[in-house]
């Protein structure tokens, strides 16, 4: 069965860096685009970034553009989110999510990880 | 960017009642790239509906989606105790993917 497991969250000071990982299993990772979505405490969902199935296309939300970098290592079935210049407003649970369709077609998110909490505080 | 506005913010209903949730887009959603998710406290979102009206795998048929253009609706025909949760609509056609602010369905 499909499993997505995030890791790497924790407490970091403002201006600091953190790298999140999303380990995937139960499907052919190299054929699906993947997303990061975050949720601040008590708030709604915010899309963060996407990477295409082959890693050639990467897009970011305006609030993280220039600070966050998404990447993937298909042989390791893992996606990453490198977060630099962290701010208090980046505090959130970060989820990785799988596209429901392979390739580049538009698709909803059919599987989500359990999330990893990032807290930016001095 | 397509902004999604959900209403109402909170819906207070009893088990067995019908729930009607609205999602309005700031511009037409081409391709019906509109999804609905359910989220319970401490859990990740779960995909309910994609393509505005197609149920995801394993979703009970009491959940239905409808609409096109700028107006979309999620209907839960008869609320079960496990349906009390927060529901989000989402545009997934292209960047930026956007979510509505959510509708909380609570027990009256």
- Three-state SS for chain A is CCEEEEECCEEECCCCCEEEEEEEECCCHHHCCEEEEEECCCCCEEEEEEECCCCCCEEECCCCCCCEEEEEEHHHCEEEEEECCCCHHHCEEEEEEEECCCCCCCCCEEEECCCEEEEECC
CB contact under 8 A, B35 and A35: no
Looking at residue A105, its pLDDT comes to 83
Give pLDDT, residue A103. 83
Answer yes or no: are the C-beta atoms of A82 and A19 closer than 8 Å: yes
- Which of A50, A100, A28, A96 lies closest to B54, judged by CA? A100
* Closest CB from A50, A110, A115 relative to B47: A110
Are A108 and B96 inside 8 Å of each other by CB?
A: no
Please tell me which residue of chain B has the smallest CA distance to A61. B96
B95–chain A Cβ distance below 8 A for any pair? yes
Q: Supply the pLDDT for residue A59.
A: 96
pLDDT in tens, A56-66: 999 999 999 99
pLDDT digits (tens, 9 = 90+) for B9-57: 999 999 999 999 999 999 999 889 999 999 999 999 999 999 999 999 9
The mean pLDDT of B92-105, rounded to a whole number, is: 96
Task: Please give the mean pLDDT across all residues of chain B.
Answer: 96
Q: Which pLDDT does position A80 carry in this prediction?
A: 98
Is residue B97 scored above 90 in pLDDT?
A: yes
Q: How confident is the model at residue B81 (pLDDT cuts 50, 70, 90)?
A: very high
Per-residue pLDDT, B30: 86
Which residue of B56, B93, B96 is in closest CB contact with A106?
Answer: B93
Q: Which pLDDT score, from 0 to 100, does residue A87 have? A: 98
Give the residues of chain A that fall short of pLDDT 50.
Answer: none
**Per-residue model confidence (pLDDT) at position B44:** 98
Contact A44 B90 (CB under 8 A): no
Q: In chain A, which residues have their Cβ closer than 8 Å to the Cβ of B43?
A: 114
């Amino acid at each position: 069965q499909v499993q997505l497991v995030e890791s790497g969250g924790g407490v970091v000071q403002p201006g600091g860096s953190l790298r999140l990982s999303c380990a995937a299993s139960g499907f052919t990772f190299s054929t699906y685009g993947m997303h990061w979505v975050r949720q601040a405490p008590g708030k709604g969902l915010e899309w963060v970034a996407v990477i295409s199935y082959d890693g050639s296309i990467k897009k970011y939300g305006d609030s993280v553009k220039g600070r966050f970098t998404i990447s993937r290592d298909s042989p390791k079935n893992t996606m990453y989110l490198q977060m630099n210049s962290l701010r208090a407003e980046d505090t959130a649970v970060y989820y990785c999510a799988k596209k429901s369709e392979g390739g580049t077609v538009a698709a909803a998110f059919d599987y989500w990880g359990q999330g990893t909490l990032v807290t930016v505080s001095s | 960017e397509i902004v999604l506005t959900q209403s109402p913010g909170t819906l207070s209903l009893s088990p067995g009642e019908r729930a009607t949730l609205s999602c309005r887009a700031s511009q037409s959603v081409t391709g019906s790239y509109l999804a609905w998710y359910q989220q319970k406290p401490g859990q990740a979102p779960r995909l309910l509906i994609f393509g505005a009206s197609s149920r995801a795998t394993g979703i009970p048929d009491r959940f239905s989606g409808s609409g096109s253009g700028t107006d979309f609706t999620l209907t839960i025909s008869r609320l079960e105790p496990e349906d009390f949760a927060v529901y989000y609509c989402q545009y997934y056609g292209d960047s930026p993917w956007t979510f509505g602010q959510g509708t909380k369905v609570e027990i009256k």
